[in-house]
Copies of this chain bind each other. A is one copy, B any other.
Amino acid sequence: MKKKGRGGGAITMGDIARHAGVSPMTVSRALREPGTVSDKMRRKVDAAVRQFGYLPNRIAGSLSSRRSNIVGLVVPSIRNSLYASMIQSVSDVLRANGLHLIIADSGHSLAEEEALVAALLAQRVCGLVLHNTVHSKRGCDLVRVAGVPVVETGNLVARPLDMAVSYSNFDAAKAMTVHLGRLGYRKIGFVTLPLRDNDRSKERRRGYLAALKELGLPVDHDLVLEAVGGLNEGADALVRLMQTGSDIDAVFFAGDVLALGALFECQRRGWNVPGRIAIASFDDLDLLRHTVPTVTTLRVPRAEIGRRSAELLVNRLRGAPPERVRIDVGFEIVQRDST
C-alpha cells in the first residue's frame, strides 16, 4: 500500500503547506520564527504539523541556509572518563543554544584524527573542538581552509590554530613535583603515559624534570617509566620502580588510572601508603577521594574547559570577530592522605 502517486517518500514542507492552505514559506517561518507569522497562520500550520507528525528535513535546511548547526568534537578516547565530563558540558552548552554535537574518537592516532576532521568538515560542521594539540600537516590545512572556528583543549599551546581553552600540563606537573619535594620526598619516581604524538605527556614529563632541577634533586632515569593506560600498567610500573633498589619514596603518576592501579597493588602487597611509598596522581577522578588512603592529585576543571570552549564557539557563530583566544583555566593541587 503506497502513498498517492506523490513519490512515496517522507512528508515535506510542501505537503504541510498544502494541507494547511498556506505557502511553504509560511510553514518554514512558522516553524523557525513563529513571531513573524500571524496567529491564524501559525495555528493552521501547527495543526497540520501535529496531524502528520512532520519533522523538517534539516539536511535540506542546512544545504539551503549553508549552516549545519552541528559542532564536531574529537577526543583521543571516548572510554576515558576524563573526557566524559568535558563532553557533557560541551554538549549541554551547545544544546542550550540549539546546536548539535558529533563526537568522534581518534584512538590517540594522528592519522585517525586527520581522517575524522576531514569527515566532520565534509559534514560541514560549523565548529570544531579538538582535544589533541598535535596535528598532521594536512589536518591543519583542512581546518584553516574550511575557515570554521576551532578550539583546542588538551594543552595550553603557545600558538593555537584558532582558540585554546586549557591549562598548562607543564606547569601542573611541575607544581605537583615541587609539592612532593616540599613534603620532604627526595626520590620521586615518574610514570608517564605514552609520549608519541602526545603533547600533553611530553609537557608533563618536562614539568617533572624542571621541578627536580628547581628542587636541586638529581634526575635518575631509572625512576622515569612510560606505561600505556590501565590499572595493570600502573601496578606493574609501581612494582618495577620499587625493585630498582634505589630508596624511592614517592611516585607521581601522570594519569589517574595508573595511580589507582598502583594504589591497589600496594593494598594487595600490604605496602603502607604513604609510609612506605607515597602516591600522587594527575586528574581528579572521583574515585581518588574515596579510596583508602585518599589520593593526592591535580584537579583540572574539565567541565569548565568544555563549557568555555562551547561558549567560544557559540559566540563566534553569532558573529563575534575571529580573534585568537587563549584561556588558561588553571589547575589545583589537592593534598590528601597518600602523600
Binding site for B on A (CB under 8 A): 9-10, 53, 55-60, 62-63, 66, 68, 70, 78-79, 81, 84-85, 87-88, 91, 100-105, 118-119, 121-124, 141-142, 145-146, 230-232, 235, 260-261, 264, 267-268, 286-287, 289-292
Label chain A's interface by main secondary structure. Answer: helix
Partner of A81, one of B79, B88, B289: B79
The listed residue with most B CB atoms (<10 A of its CB), out of A81, A88, A123, A141, is A123
Complex-state Cα separation, A241 to B112, whole angstroms: 49
Chain B nearest CB from A120 CB (Å) reads: 9
Name the 10 nearest CB pairs between A and B, nearest first.
A267-B292, A79-B84, A264-B290, A55-B122, A58-B122, A231-B290, A103-B103, A59-B63, A59-B62, A58-B123
Contact A59 B286 (CB under 8 A): no
Complex CA distance for A10 and B126, rounded to whole angstroms = 13
A28 to chain B, nearest CB (A): 14
Q: Is the CB of A53 within 8 A of B123?
A: no
Return the contact of A292 from the options B53, B85, B88, B268 (Cβ within 8 A). B268
Q: Is the CB of B91 within 8 A of A84?
A: no
Closest to A142 in B: B53
CB <8 Å contact, A118 and B290:
no
A58 vs B62: C-alpha distance in the bound complex, in angstroms? 11
**A88 near B79 (CB under 8 angstroms)?**
yes
* Contact between chains at A78 and B68 (CB < 8 Å): no
Task: Report which of B10, B56, B122 forms a contact with A57, defined as CB distance below 8 A.
Answer: B122
B residues near A289, Cβ cutoff 8 Å: 231
Partner of A145, one of B53, B87, B260: B53
Which residue of chain B is the closest to A267 with respect to CB atoms?
Answer: B292
Smallest CB–CB gap between A39 and chain B, Å?
24
Query: In whole angstroms, how far apart are the Cα atoms of A79 and B84 in the complex?
Result: 5
CA distance A66 to B122 in the complex (A): 16
A-B contact pairs, 22 of them (CB 8 A): A53-B141, A53-B142, A53-B145, A55-B121, A56-B122, A58-B122, A70-B123, A78-B88, A78-B91, A79-B84, A79-B88, A81-B84, A84-B84, A91-B104, A91-B105, A100-B123, A101-B102, A102-B102, A231-B286, A260-B290, A267-B291, A267-B292
B100 engages A88 (CB within 8 Å) = no
Rounded to whole Å, the gap between the CB of A232 and the closest CB of chain B is 8
Which residues of B are found within 8 Å of A79, using beta-carbon distances? 81, 84-85, 87-88
Residues of chain B with a CB closer than 8 A to A267's CB: 291-292
Chain B residues lying within 8 Å of A91, measured Cβ to Cβ, are: 78, 104-105
Contacts of A264 in B (CB 8 A): 290-292
> How far does the Cβ of A135 sit from chain B's closest Cβ, in whole Å?
15
Of B66, B118, B235, which one neighbours A55 at CB under 8 angstroms?
A: B118
Chain B: CB-nearest residue to A10: B146
A74 smallest CB distance to B (angstroms) = 12
Please give, as numbers and ranges, the residues of chain B lying within 8 Å of A105 by CB-CB distance. Answer: 88, 91
Residue in B59, B142, B261 whose beta carbon sits within 8 Å of that of A124 in the complex: B59
